[in-house]
Amino acid sequence: MPAYLKYTVGKADETLNVGQILRRRFDMSASVLKEMKQKNGILLNDNPCRSVDKVNNSDIILADVSEDFCNNNKISPFNTPIDVIYEDEFILVVNKPGGMETHPCNSNRESTLANAVMYFWLQKGEYHNCHIVNRLDKNTSGICIIAKNPFAHSVIAGQARNGDFKKFYVALIHGKPDLDKGEINLPIGRSDDSIIKREVRSDGQLAKTMYEVVSHDKNYSLVKILLKTGRTHQIRVHFSAIGHPLVGDWLYGNGDNEGHLIKRQALHAKTVEFLHPATKEKLVFDTEIPEEIKKLLSSD
């Protein structure tokens, strides 16, 4: 499935060249533009052109941002169903189950979400490298955005840096915070005695978590969370630090003794908002809270 950017030049663009238009109108990175030039992927009025070529009013620029399939990470296809929320020639949006690795790692190179996505594409006769925009922990469920080419990945990653890419989570935590709505602003860094564990520490990186209590009972609270920064394990570290660890969290809570409640931390990436990399249309994707989380709130 090829991916094209099409733009009709207006009077306001007549002082620009082709490359400047692609950079300004589509937020194209210098590296992606360079790659397109190398493969002669830019047409001006159906003719190959250079990025420095000048344009005139009503000219049509067509840029092929499709990526040559190379599978440098050697991701093998894995035959298992995936929950596809949306797909077009630029992105794939899936609802990842808890318990599935997002991307191949040393301990699992065969049965991750990326492996399943490769199989899904191959069954349709499509060949794309798998550019996962927002990686979720193995035991976190929810929305994953996968770019089909470096252009889409670069644009969405840029939105994550400037705040246009918004990630809303829900979590089930122990107890109830004193405030029904608030911000946790505590710096996070790697623990000295672990390569995995993070902790709140004065020399850590800035980390901000916005939360709102949606519902609660005598044991737990369901909270809606907006990440303002994206530190490793940020939600889990922050709620543990304020005395309300996530249910089922073995690393920052009492999850080792809560297997009868849930087999993972009760965290779900519920909603994602961002601008489509090509059309700039605002996209909002939402998922249901998994039953394994919802059922705990009403339990005695």
User: How much is the pTM?
Assistant: 0.91
- Given a cut of 80, whether residue 71 has pLDDT beyond it is no
Write out the E strands in the chain.
4-8, 42-44, 47-48, 60-64, 83-87, 91-96, 131-132, 141-147, 166-174, 181-185, 188-190, 198-200, 208-216, 220-227, 267-275, 282-286
Residue 148: both structure tokens together: 């089909």
Name which CATH class applies to 4-64: alpha beta
Report the sign of the C-alpha dihedral through residues 137, 138, 139, 141, in that order: positive
pLDDT digits (tens, 9 = 90+) for 113-169: 999 999 999 999 998 999 999 999 999 999 999 999 999 999 999 999 888 999 999
Share of the chain above pLDDT 70, in %: 98
pLDDT of residue 289: 95
Residues 35-47 pLDDT 10s: 888 888 999 999 9
| Cα of 131 vs its chain's centroid, Å | 10
Residue 173 has pLDDT above 90, yes or no: yes
Residue spans of the domains in the chain: they are 4-64, 67-162, 167-269+293-297
Record: fold of 167-269+293-297: Pseudouridine synthase (3.30.2350)
Topology alike, domains 67-162 and 167-269+293-297 = yes
Active site residue 137: yes
Active-site pick, 13, 27, 59, 137: 137
CATH homologous superfamily of 67-162: Pseudouridine synthase (3.30.2350.10)
Q: Cα–Cα–Cα angle for 289, 291, 293, nearest 5°?
A: 70
